[in-house]
């Protein structure tokens, strides 16, 4: 580990000051559950580490006018303890429950989970399936809002500029929270990185799937939406035949890699399985 400077701003103003005086590459840190291992492994070597955990105003979870907003510094444990998330966005609750261990969840933040841009980021599929937006802030208060499906550019790469931080994540309150299901497959039941993960969110209209949204993890260079499948689902009937056809299609829509955890072929096979189970559960409004 090389030597580096450390700064912990207490306000956006202080953060702007740090930007003005920073020399060389800087790196943001919040919970540190990704950054610290990366530093130890030497895969990153910033000159300056900017600790965002002092920006207390970014830790909140609230519902305003049919929209749920989660401050970027909310920890995964905060999300699990939130009545709002538990009742109104259980799809995110399910994903949060599968992230790491209690120790990790107590430190890791939702902003960090997205900013790290791991293809296997646990909260990403659910947030994608709920059509989440990422709100950011750049130097001197310049803000923008980015749909999550345009946020990730590649493994550990996002659209964020060097001086840009995530301030909050928002999404419309799901119409029927019970119509969402997150499933994760790893080599064990907890404290494991996904071999594949999938979230579906349905808004059935009569006998059709209506506005179905599907988020996928660990099966492409970034967490992705399965747009072709969503379209096919919506255009067909809510029946086993359509689900089966979509399960076939989903293996074509993804581009998984082979790595230490699984081969591309295995990922394709199990994504189809996860998809069928998740859809079934979402249709039933309960467990698979």
Task: Return the residue of 21, 188, 207, 241 that touches another protein, per CB under 8 A.
Answer: 188
The verdict on 64 binding another protein (CB under 8 A) reads no
Task: Return the residue of 153, 161, 190, 237 that touches another protein, per CB under 8 A.
Answer: 190
Q: How far is the CB of 272 from another protein (least distance, A)?
A: 9
CB 124 within 8 A of CB 166: no
- Sole window of 53-61, 130-138, 158-166, 190-198 interacting with another protein (rule: CB under 8 A): 190-198
Q: Which residues contact 130 (CB under 8 A, 6 or more apart)?
A: 89, 91, 92, 171, 172, 174, 180, 201, 213
The verdict on 287 binding another protein (CB under 8 A) reads no
The verdict on 37 binding another protein (CB under 8 A) reads yes
The verdict on 248 binding another protein (CB under 8 A) reads no
Start-to-end CA distance of the chain, whole Å, equals: 46
Joined together, the tokens standing for residue 183 give 């499933």
Pairing of strands 5-7, 67-71: unpaired
Which residue lies nearer to another protein by CB, 9 or 217?
A: 217
- Among positions 39-58, residues that touch another protein (CB under 8 A) are 41
Q: How far apart are CA 154 and CA 146, in angstroms?
A: 16
The verdict on 193 binding another protein (CB under 8 A) reads yes
The verdict on 192 binding another protein (CB under 8 A) reads yes
Which residue lies nearer to another protein by CB, 18 or 264?
A: 264
Q: Which residues contact 234 (CB under 8 A, 6 or more apart)?
A: 208, 209, 210, 211, 212
Question: How does DSSP assign 190-204, residue by residue?
Answer: SS---SEEEEEE-B-
- Sole window of 24-32, 141-149, 180-188, 210-218 interacting with another protein (rule: CB under 8 A): 180-188
- Sole window of 208-216, 230-238, 242-250, 258-266 interacting with another protein (rule: CB under 8 A): 258-266
Q: How far is the CB of 229 from another protein (least distance, A)?
A: 18
Q: How far apart are CA 255 and CA 155, in angstroms?
A: 13
The number of beta carbons lying within 10 Å of the beta carbon of residue 49 is 19
Contact residues toward another protein (CB under 8 A) are 1-3, 37, 41, 185, 187-193, 195, 260-263, 266, 269-270, 273
């Amino acid at each position: 580990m090389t030597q580096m400077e450390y700064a912990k701003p207490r306000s956006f103003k202080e953060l702007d000051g740090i930007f003005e005086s920073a020399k060389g590459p800087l790196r943001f840190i919040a919970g540190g559950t990704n950054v610290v291992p990366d530093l130890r492994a030497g895969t990153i070597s910033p000159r300056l580490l900017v600790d965002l955990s002092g920006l207390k105003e970014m830790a909140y979870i609230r519902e305003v006018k049919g929209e749920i907003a989660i401050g970027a510094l909310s920890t995964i444990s905060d999300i699990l303890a939130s009545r709002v998330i538990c009742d109104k966005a259980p799809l995110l609750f399910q994903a949060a429950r599968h992230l790491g261990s209690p120790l990790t969840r107590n430190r890791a933040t939702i902003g960090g989970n997205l900013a790290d841009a791991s293809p296997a980021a646990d909260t990403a599929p659910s947030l994608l399936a709920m059509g989440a937006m990422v709100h950011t802030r750049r130097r001197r208060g310049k803000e923008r809002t980015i749909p999550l499906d345009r946020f990730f550019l590649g493994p550990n790469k996002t659209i964020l500029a060097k001086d840009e931080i995530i301030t909050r994540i928002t999404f419309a309150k799901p119409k029927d929270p019970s119509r969402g299901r997150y499933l994760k497959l790893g080599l064990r039941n907890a404290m494991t990185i996904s071999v594949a993960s999938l979230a579906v969110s349905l808004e059935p209209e009569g006998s059709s799937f209506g506005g179905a949204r599907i988020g996928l993890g660990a099966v492409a260079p970034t967490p992705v939406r399965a747009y072709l499948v969503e379209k096919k689902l919506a255009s067909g009937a809510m029946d086993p035949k359509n689900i089966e056809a979509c399960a076939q299609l989903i293996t074509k829509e993804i581009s998984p890699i082979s790595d230490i955890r699984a081969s591309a072929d295995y990922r394709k096979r199990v994504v189809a399985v996860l998809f069928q189970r998740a859809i079934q559960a979402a249709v039933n409004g309960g467990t698979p």
